Amino acid sequence: MDFALDQKSVQRLKLLRGLGKELFRPLGMEADKKGEPIPPDHPFFQQIVDMGLVSPLGPDPEKKKSEPSEKRSNRMAVLFAEEASYWDRGVAVTMPGPGLGGPPINKMGTPAQRERFMSVFKDKKPHWGAFAMTEPSAGSDVAGIKTLARRDGNSWVLNGAKTFISNAKRAEWVIVFATIDPKLGRAGHRAFVVEKDTPGFDVTRVERKMGLKAYESCSFVLEDCRIPADNLLGGEAYYEKKAGFKGAMSAFNASRALVAVMAIGVGRAAWDHARQFVRDNYDLGRPIPRYRRILERLATVKRGLDAGRALAWRGAWLLDIGEPNALEASMAKQFCPPAALAACSTAVEVLADAGVRNDELVEKLYRDVKAMDIVEGTQQIQRTIIARRLVGLPQET
Amino acid sequence: MFELSLTEEDDLLRKTSGDFAESRLGPAARDSEGNREVAAAIVSEYRELGMHALELPESLGGSGLPPFGKALVLEQLAGGDAAAVLACDGVGPAIYPLVEMGGVRGASLLEELVGKADARGWVIVDREDALEVTADRVRGRWPWVPAEKLDVLVVLKGNRALVLREGVELEPVKPCALHAAGSAAVAIDAPIAETFESASGAARSEARLRLYAASLLLGVAATSLRYAIEYTKERVTFGRPVAHHQGVAFLIADLACRIDAARLSIWRAAWALEQDGDPTEAAAAAFLDAADTALECGEQGVQLLGGHGYMQDHPVEKWMREARTLAQLWGGRDAALDVLADRVLETSGHVGFAVPSWGKQI
Ligand SMILES: Cc1cc2nc3c(=O)[nH]c(=O)nc-3n(C[C@H](O)[C@H](O)[C@H](O)COP(=O)(O)OP(=O)(O)OC[C@H]3O[C@@H](n4cnc5c(N)ncnc54)[C@H](O)[C@@H]3O)c2cc1C
């Protein structure tokens, strides 16, 4: 048992820290002030690609059989995700790369599909992928998606609407989950790759969000959107295996611990800012009545953040050693966002009247962090997953 | 015997202000936020209804209502748009120190200000000695006030109220919320126009400020929960309305209890202000009850709408930001907690609610 980081990881984190301070934080603040996402042709993205940094999304499937290299381990990914989110969670999501579309391609895709869709990221230019499950009327209740997929000769034809999809407008391809028959529930689900500029695929709006302004959350429609049969992820055979789709969903256990730890990163940023504010403004020279309480509250916040981080680390570590982590990943995802929200809210209060100013960072973090309790399964959904495993809470329809 | 019913007049106040919030303030709230001001037509309707002058003494052209009436009205109005209330209230909370501490001079100042449709006032409570005060000047910086122009700024410092009329520069800053009221950092290098001093007056002023903020917070909390209840009754997941999942239903029940408790706490503080005694503890408790409830309802309002709550198509994200911002006013939760901590050992342990007599605790 060892909670210490090795030198190499520390070095990598230092590199990211430099980048975060110089680029992530200022870009994130600017996007927030303007209320606009960072445009895809912004030089920042090319810089990221030139530095060989793509969004940290877990192990390389090619190396899955052997011991995952440390650089690509889930443990390294949680470290990176926390540090990147510390500087700016919105900017971290704009990082070029396959994004949340990576895990399904890696987990479900055939070798030919992996080659076809992942090779685009090798050309030294910024490119993005996206992942589209949520629909206007179905978010938590994934089984309720209505986007319909119909086989027609050598094509699939998709009809439906997706909403809140990160980076969909700039993506080279979007992984679209659809159903071949809504009556079949999850068994009817299929994952498709819809490529940019496919006729019938139309991004209809970029949402106006409370925070996380640096990246685009998009709604799009699919109207008789015809894609090659080859774009069915994994091929027909994949879905005939009983465990097929369920197995694929387990890929998201990795991202759940990541999102959890991202919340911790945001919370830690707020905590750090408040701590520095107290040091700068209320040193012992000018004790104020609430000085002691502020210190106690900062200590309480830190306890929550540290406990949350440990839960997320456990989720990632279990994956690295090849153990199931569904319960542990859900525990991290349930615990971390509220702890981080409390950190941000406390930071706003510690700064007193300055805390509600947009240029003081903490109010932005308070707006940003709320989303972490919604994406990748809300805390309510995590509770049902945890309770199902702990006390056999019956699964709903 | 204690009695919690409302009079016909109270009901009418609630209805009038509630209708105005629903038909005028609410529908315009996003525009007001975007423009960082409230449309002139709405401001003048607000004034025609006399909402800005409810607590102003009748001798100054106001309605002379006790704090309770204003608390009822503020809750309703904040359900429409709390930022607009701050904008439309004009001299707003600055009337408290002027009425409670200013005597005749305070009254004549108010007479001058309240007549002007666009006059704005604000109060700063400088508990931590951030501002430098000499015999005739106040200097320093204040990080944020919800206004972009001020005709009068009152600095409450201990038992004194320092009235500033010039030498107050406002530099607009972007705020977390309440955009429609304006938002600025303040650079002060100002001659003191008037100094009023009174221990009980200062305590009553602070209590009324807290009651003002608490009533707005309660309005935000209640409107957020109402909205989330309607939404979760309609939205279906896993084969039933979201509100019918037990985890959600229990949360809604908890929040509803907290709102009612906070409302009664506010009413108790308003009652304490009408007694001859020190309302400080009751007002601080009301502020904390309302602030904690509003922070929770603001955040849970977003949560209950899921991803939709995070988008600006729905108002819940605005209410979450508003609760966070209103809960900072006049020292926020920390200052209110200090008040309670200072007094807790002297509080009576008898059944019922006591209003301590003056002098004991100040
Ligand atoms: C910033 C942001 C980025 C996003 N990016 C993406 C993306 O890239 N791709 C994508 O596919 N989606 C994305 N989403 C969508 C996100 O995954 C969904 O919003 C989320 O799953 C919740 O679904 P919903 O919004 O439909 O809420 P609903 O499912 O309608 O939930 C509403 C409320 O009901 C509660 N609830 C629902 N069912 C139960 C139950 N059984 N028991 C108790 N409570 C329940 C929820 O917890 C929530 O509080 C994003 C969302 C946001 C805010």
pLDDT single digits (tens) B163-200: 999 999 999 999 999 999 999 999 999 999 999 999 99
Angle (nearest 5°) at CA B292 between B287 and B296:
145
The dihedrals phi and psi of A100, each to the nearest 5 degrees, come to: -70, -10
Chain B segment 233-272 residues within 8 A of A by beta carbon are: 236-240, 245, 247-248
Residue A211, min C-alpha distance to chain B (Å): 8
Supply the residues of A annotated as catalytic: 376
Dump pLDDT digits (tens) for B275-323: 999 999 999 999 999 999 999 999 999 999 999 999 999 999 999 999 9
Is the Cα dihedral A218, A221, A227, A229 positive or negative? Answer: positive
Q: What span, in angstroms and rounded, lies between the C-alpha atoms of B263 and B269? A: 10
Residue A50 belongs to some domain of the structure? yes
Residues A369, A288 share a domain:
yes
pLDDT tens sequence for chain A (397 residues): 888 899 999 999 999 999 999 999 999 999 999 999 999 999 999 999 998 876 544 445 554 444 556 667 899 999 999 999 999 999 999 999 998 898 889 888 999 999 999 999 988 899 999 999 999 999 999 889 999 999 999 999 999 999 999 999 999 999 999 999 988 888 899 999 999 999 999 999 999 999 999 999 999 999 999 999 999 999 988 888 755 566 557 666 778 999 999 999 999 999 999 999 988 887 666 667 788 888 899 999 999 999 999 999 999 999 999 999 999 999 999 999 999 999 999 999 999 999 999 989 999 999 999 999 999 999 999 999 999 998 889 887 5
Q: Write down the pLDDT at residue A250.
A: 67
**This prediction's pTM:** 0.92
Centre of ligand 1 from the C-alpha of residue A383, in Å: 14
Domain count for chain A, please give it: 3
Please provide the DSSP assignment of A227-272 as one string: EEGGGBTTHHHHHHSTTHHHHHHTTHHHHHHHHHHHHHHHHHHHHH
Chain B segment 296-315 residues within 8 A of A by beta carbon are: 299, 302-303, 306-307, 309-313
Centre of ligand 1 from the C-alpha of residue A297, in Å: 31
Ligand 1 pocket residues where CB is under 6 Å: A 100, 131-134, 139-141, 164-166, 209, 212, 217, 371, 374-375, 378, 380-381, 384, 396; B 235, 237-238, 242, 245, 247-248, 303-304, 306-308, 310
Query: Which among B183, B247, B312 has CB closest to A209?
Result: B312
Which helix (H) or strand (E) segment holds residue B281: the answer is: helix B280-304
Residues A386, A249 share a domain:
yes
Residues A369, A285 share a domain:
yes
Q: What span, in angstroms and rounded, lies between the C-alpha atoms of B209 and B96? A: 7
Reduced to 3 states (helix: H, G, I; strand: E, B; else coil), residue B92 is helix
Residues constituting chain A: 397
ipTM of the complex: 0.88
Give the residue from A224, A242, A260 where a domain finishes. Answer: A242
Contact across the interface for B174 and A341, Cβ inside 8 Å: no
* Residue B148 burial (CB count, 10 A): 17
Residues A152, A48 share a domain:
no
Nearest C-alpha neighbor of A96 from the set A61, A136, A50, A129 = A129
Q: Write down the pLDDT at residue A286.
A: 63
Residues A319, A215 share a domain:
no
CA max distance for chain A:
79
Q: Write down the pLDDT at residue B160.
A: 98
The dihedrals phi and psi of B333, each to the nearest 5 degrees, come to: -65, -35
Residue A31 belongs to some domain of the structure? yes
Most A CBs within 10 Å, among B36, B144, B231, to test the A interface: B144
Chain A segment 168-187 residues within 8 A of B by beta carbon are: none
Residue A221 belongs to some domain of the structure? yes
Question: How many A×B Cβ pairs under 8 Å?
Answer: 139
Q: Write down the pLDDT at residue A57.
A: 45
Task: State how far the alpha carbon of A234 is from the alpha carbons of A107, A143, A147, A191, B339, in Å.
Answer: 9, 20, 19, 8, 65
Contact B212, A345 (CB under 8 A): no
Residues A170, A55 share a domain:
no
Contact B178, B82 (CB under 8 A): yes
Residue A115 belongs to some domain of the structure? no
Query: Which among A143, A286, A353 has CB closest to B143?
Result: A353
Q: Write down the pLDDT at residue A372.
A: 97
Residue A114 belongs to some domain of the structure? no
Tokens of residue A309, six digits: 């981080």
Centre of ligand 1 from the C-alpha of residue B335, in Å: 37
Query: Which among A143, A378, A383 has CB closest to B303?
Result: A378
Average pLDDT of the segment spanning B328-354 = 87
Check CB contact of B127 with chain A, cutoff 8 Å. yes
Reduced to 3 states (helix: H, G, I; strand: E, B; else coil), residue A339 is helix
Residue A259, min C-alpha distance to chain B (Å): 15
Percent of chain B with pLDDT over 70: 99
Give the residue from A242, A259, A278 where a domain finishes. Answer: A242
Residues A144, A82 share a domain:
no
Q: What span, in angstroms and rounded, lies between the C-alpha atoms of B295 and A273? A: 21
Residues A383, A339 share a domain:
yes
Give the residue from A196, A221, A242 where a domain finishes. Answer: A242
Contact A370, B312 (CB under 8 A): no
Chain A segment 57-96 residues within 8 A of B by beta carbon are: none
Residue A205 belongs to some domain of the structure? yes
Centre of ligand 1 from the C-alpha of residue A136, in Å: 10
Which residues of chain A neighbour B331 with C-beta distances below 8 Å?
352
Beta bridge partners of B152: B121
Tokens 């990914």 map to which residue?
Answer: A77
CATH number at residue A292: 1.20.140.10
What is the extent of the structural domain holding A299? 245-391
Residues A252, A222 share a domain:
no
Residue B326, min C-alpha distance to chain A (Å): 9
Residues A219, A187 share a domain:
yes
Residues A137, A259 share a domain:
no
Residues A158, A262 share a domain:
no
Check CB contact of B121 with chain A, cutoff 8 Å. no
B1 confidence band (pLDDT: 50, 70, 90): confident
Which residues of chain A neighbour B311 with C-beta distances below 8 Å?
164, 207-210, 217
Residue A308 belongs to some domain of the structure? yes
Which helix (H) or strand (E) segment holds residue A129: the answer is: strand A128-132
Q: What span, in angstroms and rounded, lies between the C-alpha atoms of B356 and B45? A: 40
Centre of ligand 1 from the C-alpha of residue B228, in Å: 15
Alpha carbon distance, N-terminus to C-terminus of chain A: 41
CATH number at residue A191: 2.40.110.10
Hey, which of B227, B236, B240, B242 would you mutate to test ligand 1's pocket, going by the most ligand atoms within 8 Å of its Cβ?
B242
Res. B150: pLDDT tops 70: yes
Residue A104 belongs to some domain of the structure? no
Check CB contact of A293 with chain B, cutoff 8 Å. yes
Q: Write down the pLDDT at residue A56.
A: 44
Nearest C-alpha neighbor of B294 from the set B253, B322, B265 = B322
